[in-house]
Structure 1
């Protein structure tokens, strides 16, 4: 295990079960060079908080219903995140639309994972929509966050086939397996200094990506 000083400090934001958080925790316990400084949720009942506590990671709850509006909540969230001095902020099922001010504050060091092959199926209910659209493939995307919903520069994708007898739940489960692979990988690239956003473009190993990297099956 690497020394803490050589690990990238990150903060993870969640709203629910935290399975992607668990994938990051497991990778960090292996050889992913990150230090998870805190896990923050806008919901006190998010199971991901328990996952973090079991891993001895500091947790905090910032309930958005206690704030007048989005701007006030995001201002408080910035203050809380910055108290942990992360170099990367990781959205792992954080079900909040972030204000432009928040996104600008973390520009280039804020990433998200979305359960579709962006730019297809932005927003919610992606698996149902993929089935209804008779898509041949579906998947997940890691991207830098901008103030366009699910519209930031695309880093890495993984595909799964959409099968004839797929239900929303079956398809979701297969996509989630891929999410657990690509999110730690994208975080690794950032931690190792291989990944950055320049002028709204993803740069990997000093090469601008014209299209997102693909996880090889």
Structure 2
């Protein structure tokens, strides 16, 4: 009888310990729209990597139905939801559904990893300072950078490379960027960046020349994308760990990303990137 009592007390204690461990972890929601490659890297880091015991991937929300990301999340036993903007009459209603999910799962931090919709203002306000976004190129807050509406995936890398080709910068580079989410695309404060050197170009060219001979730019874009992806994974994982430890970083550029007088080149580079990667 006494043995049964001891076992019962031990069982209760074990359950309490597990609950405490879970409560001490940073509960995160992962927002995706596609294949979920970064999402999967985060989940693996939480289960057996540098985020184990610190971060709990509690829920995955996808803006698209039946994508690979949802399938991957289910494989790891993560609760999933599909929340599509087109299913709601207003942006506010779309946001209320997201807020409802985050509230139901006691979410501490939201991480956008390949999330394409503009996050509604009511969500941004409700979770101010608690929503981060992964971006595959250099940003500069509210100043001009390689972000904005329609700038995602290969388009970002392509625009950056085109800009570098035209301006003829020495020691060319691109970046993986993690930043806070604001009410406008890619204008939130920067948190952490990781640079990647890109090949030095022989001489400056014009946007017209790049458009005429676009195949090399397309091939280089795909190559740099492959090199940048693992850096993106490590970057967002490092940021999540910092949040879990209560010490999130911040990054401020010492000078504008786009020098005065080169804003038009930036716009033309973005336009070309959207043409080459429709």
Report the TM-score, using the length of structure 1 for normalisation. 0.86
Instruction: State the SS of the aligned residue for 1:139.
Output: strand
Instruction: State the SS of the aligned residue for 1:148.
Output: coil
Which of these residues, 247, 256, 268, is aligned with residue 194 of structure 1? 247
Does the 8 A contact of 1:91 with 1:112 survive in 2?
A: yes
Which of these residues, 70, 81, 92, is aligned with residue 60 of structure 1? 81
Q: Aligned-pair distance for 1:209?
A: 5.0
Further displaced range: 49-58 or 165-174: 165-174
Tell me how far apart the structure 1 counterparts of residues 220 and 50 of structure 2 sit (CA, whole Å): 35
* Structure 1: 5+ residue stretches without partners: 196-203, 213-217
- Is 1:84 paired with 2:105? yes
Instruction: State the SS of the aligned residue for 2:246.
Output: coil
Which of these residues, 143, 146, 163, is aligned with residue 121 of structure 1? 146
Tell me how far apart the structure 1 counterparts of residues 185 and 30 of structure 2 sit (CA, whole Å): 19
Tell me how far apart the structure 2 counterparts of residues 159 and 31 of structure 1 sit (CA, whole Å): 21
Does the 8 A contact of 1:37 with 1:84 survive in 2?
A: yes
Tell me how far apart the structure 2 counterparts of residues 114 and 42 of structure 1 sit (CA, whole Å): 17
- Is 1:182 paired with 2:235? yes
Tell me how far apart the structure 1 counterparts of residues 93 and 72 of structure 2 sit (CA, whole Å): 28
Give CA-to-partner distance per residue, 1:8-66, whole Å, 9 cap, x none.
11111111011110111111012311111110111112211111111111111112221
Does the 8 A contact of 1:40 with 1:61 survive in 2?
A: yes
Further displaced range: 65-74 or 91-100: 65-74
- Is 1:162 paired with 2:216? no
Does the 8 A contact of 1:14 with 1:46 survive in 2?
A: no
Larger Cα-atom Rg = 2
Matched with 1:148 is: 184
Further displaced range: 48-57 or 132-141: 132-141
Does the 8 A contact of 2:30 with 2:113 survive in 1?
A: yes
Structure with greater strand percent:
1
Which of these residues, 117, 129, 135, is aligned with residue 108 of structure 1? 129
Matched with 1:7 is: 25
Q: Aligned-pair distance for 1:211?
A: 4.2
* Structure 2: 5+ residue stretches without partners: 1-19, 166-171, 202-215, 255-278
Q: How many residues align?
A: 201
Tell me how far apart the structure 2 counterparts of residues 81 and 11 of structure 1 sit (CA, whole Å): 7
